[in-house]
Amino acid sequence: YRPPKPYRHPVLDARLTKARLAFEAKVLERCRREGVPVPAVYAQNAAAGWIAVEWIEGAPVRVKINEWLGQRPKNEEEEKAALEKDQGPLVELMKRIGSAIAGLHRTGVVHGDLTTSNMMLRPPVKTTKMTTTTTTTEEGETNGVISEEAQEKAKLLEGDVIIIDFGLANQSQSDEDRATDLYVLERAFASTHPRAENLFEHLLESYKQSFKKGASVLHKLEDVRMRGRKRSMIG
C-alpha cells in the first residue's frame, strides 16, 4: 500500500501512484511468467494505491547471512580462520543469489534497489525428521553434538532466494543498467556484510554462468565501479 503524499498535489499524486503500482504489478507478473523467483500478484487496485502479493515465508537474506556469520571474532586472524573453516553454505547461497538476479535481468527487468534486505530466503519444505540415539561420555559431552551444530548452522542458509520490493524496478535491456543493479548490490553487500565481502565474486561468477550476456554486463560493471570510485574521491 502506498499512502497519499501530502506534499504533492492530490491529482498528481494519485496519477503517479496509480501508474507506479500498475507498473510494479506488471513487472512482477512478467517475472513470474518467465520463472523468476518473485512473489505472485493476487490482486491490485492501483487507483486505491495497493496491490496484494504472495506472503513469502522465511527471513530476509540479510538476517540469515548475519545470523550465519555469528558473533564477530576477537581479532582479524580468528575472523579469517572462521570464514575459511566452513564457508561452503554461504558460497552456495551467493551462487543462488547470482542465478536469481541473472534470471531477472534475462527477463529484461532491472530491480533498482538490490540489497540483501530485498531478498527473502524461503526455507525448504520440511520432511519427517529421523530420530537418532546419542550417548554421553564421562565428561558429560554428547557424542555427535559438533556435527549436529554444523548441520543446524548450514540449515540457516538453505532455501530459495526470492527477490522482493519492485517499487523502483524498470524494464531495460541495457548492460549499463544491469551493471548498475549489480553495483548497487555490491556496495550494499560490502556495507552490510563486510566480513563476507570477499565472497561476492561467487555471486558474480554464478551470474555470468547463468546469463548469456553476463560477461558483457560484468565488463560494464568495471566501468561503473570506476565512475563510482571517482565520485567517492571527488565527494
pLDDT in tens, 166-194: 999 999 999 999 999 999 999 999 999 99
CB 104 within 8 A of CB 163: yes
- What is the pLDDT of the chain when averaged over all its residues? 87
Mean pLDDT of 137-152: 54
Mean pLDDT of 56-78: 83
List the grid coordinates of 14. 494519485
Name which of 5-9, 121-125, 152-156 the model is least confident about. Answer: 152-156
CB 26 within 8 A of CB 38: no
Mean pLDDT of 81-105: 88
Catalytic residue among 86, 113, 177, 223: 113
pTM (whole model) above 0.75 = yes
Query: Is residue 64 scored above 60 in pLDDT?
Result: yes
Query: Is residue 146 scored above 80 in pLDDT?
Result: no
The conformation of residue 168, written as its DSSP 8-state character, comes to T
Residue whose C-alpha cell reads 520490493 in the numeric block: 165
List the grid coordinates of 204. 558474480
Pairing mode, strands 41-45 and 50-53: antiparallel
- Whole-angstrom distance, CA of residue 77 vs CA of residue 69: 15
| Residue that wins the pLDDT comparison between 235 and 125 | 125
- Whole-angstrom distance, CA of residue 64 vs CA of residue 73: 18
| Residue that wins the pLDDT comparison between 1 and 138 | 1
- Whole-angstrom distance, CA of residue 196 vs CA of residue 116: 13
- Whole-angstrom distance, CA of residue 67 vs CA of residue 75: 19
Percent helix, strand and coil across the chain, each rounded to 5?
Answer: 55, 10, 35
Mean pLDDT of 115-137: 71
Active-site residue 113, yes or no?
yes
Start-to-end CA distance of the chain, whole Å, equals 36
Residue 40: band (very low, low, confident or very high) from pLDDT cuts 50, 70, 90: very high
Mean pLDDT of 8-14: 91
- pLDDT recorded at residue 85: 64
CB 121 within 8 A of CB 160: yes
Mean pLDDT of 16-38: 96
- CA-closest candidate to residue 34, choices 110, 86, 101, 107: 107
- Whole-angstrom distance, CA of residue 120 vs CA of residue 163: 6
